[in-house]
Amino acid sequence: MKGLKFISTGRCVPPKIVTNDDMSRIVDTSDEWIRTRTGIAQRHFSDGESAVDLAVGAARQAMERAQVRPEEIGVCVVATCTPDHAAPSDACLVQAALGIPEDVPCFDLNAGCTGFLYGLETVRGLLSLGSKPYALLIGCEQLSRVLDMTDRSTCVLFGDGAGAAVLGLEEGALWEALLGSRGNWEILWVNGPGPETAAIHMDGQGVYRFAVEAIPSCARTLLERSGLTLDDVDWIVPHQANRRIIETAAKRLHAPIEKFYQNMERYGNTSAASIPIALDEMNEAGLLKRGQRVMCIGFGAGLTWGGALFQW
């Protein structure tokens, strides 16, 4: 089966920035605690924008940069665990806003923070079954809506935002992907939807232990399957949850930390949006060059995990 190629990327975060000092006025925490335990300095919180507004902003930017017309989109997927409504999906509302024609599957996909990676494999399959050339894949979260602002162990970690990509299939393109799930809800779950009941519940250390195992194990499997070594990979773009998780994973892989892109300092953990936001920042900054090999690795509620290895 053909591999995916990133044609373009985009991102959209709400303008309101909430610093660690701002958080310390809401719960008993400090800039020092949050920075040293997580690497996070600030996050963006919606202030009137809906999740769909963010998804549309990121998607519009990616579509404009790709110079792709709505009629050329063959599938539109939003990876999210915080959609605006149980139904219709965020993806259908993105479809309406962008004028994507009716003969296109549009739906949301929930694989927690691994959502964007599940989305890549999903759109790869659907594109190969259809006749249109491009997929629109968005990772979008409005986590501020489901934060328990009395729980300092979770509310300081997360942020809002969306990242998008226009993707196409290419014969012979490097493509390795793996996805998995453990069927375990006790460690990380979000109840809701509905602001009156919604909240993130998390056993932080449980997620930590899972993540520092999942990242190296995904990376090793992708390398084994592709016949490549870590030296052949230019960038590792992990889910942006916690700097210490990434540092521990890098040590376990004997990989230089400079290979791991990190931006949780500016956004916090944006769940399914974190990898596409990171890819878009890197793309915009000229860090990603055509031909470079990139490995994305995600982990999150489910517990799910996933990875993709491809050429930019």
The residues assigned a catalytic role are 113, 239, 269
Taking the CB of residue 100, how many other CB atoms lie within 10 A of it? 24
Name, in order, each residue with C-beta under 8 angstroms of 277's C-beta and a sequence gap of 6 or more.
11, 13, 139, 161, 162, 163, 240, 263, 267, 270
**For residues 130 and 206, which CB has a smaller minimum distance to ligand UT7 in the complex?**
206
Amino acid present at 8 = S
Residue 155 Cβ vs ligand UT7, minimum distance, rounded to whole Å = 8
Task: Indicate the DSSP class of residue 219.
Answer: H
CA 151 to centroid of chain Cα atoms = 24
If the CB atoms of residues 73 and 215 are measured against ligand UT7, the closer one turns out to be 215
In the chain, how long is the greatest CA-to-CA distance? 55
DSSP state of 175: E
Q: Positive or negative CA dihedral for 153, 156, 148, 187?
A: negative
Q: From the CB of residue 150, how many other CB atoms can be counted at a distance below 10 Å?
A: 10
Instruction: Determine phi and psi for 72, rounding to 5 degrees.
Output: -90, -5
Q: Quick one: how many helices (H) and strands (E) in the chain?
A: 10, 13
Q: Which CB, 226 or 262, lies closer to ligand UT7?
A: 262
CB of 244 to ligand UT7, least distance (A): 7
Nearer Cβ to ligand UT7 (29/217): 29
Could you give phi then psi for residue 106, rounded to 5 degrees?
-130, 120
181: nearest Cα among 303, 297, 307:
303
How far apart are CB 309 and ligand UT7 at their closest, in Å? 21
Min dist CB 270 to ligand UT7, Å, is 9
Distance CA 16, CA 155 (A): 16
For ligand UT7, the closer of residues 89 and 269 by Cβ is: 269
Q: Which residue's CB atom is positioned nearest to ligand UT7?
A: 204
3-class secondary structure for 133-173? CEEEEEEEEEHHHHCCCCCHHHHCCECEEEEEEEEEEECCC
| Smallest distance from ligand UT7 to CB 269, Å | 5
The token pair at 166 is: 């226009």
Q: Smaller CB distance to ligand UT7: residue 33 or 107?
A: 33
- Min separation Cβ 140 and ligand UT7, Å: 15
Interface residues toward ligand UT7, by CB under 6 A: 29, 33-34, 37-38, 113, 152-153, 156, 202, 204-205, 207-208, 241-242, 269, 300
Task: Using the minimum distance from each CB to ligand UT7, give the nearer residue, 193 or 204.
Answer: 204
Give the C-alpha separation, 300 to 254, whole Å.
23
Tokens of 263: 């931006």
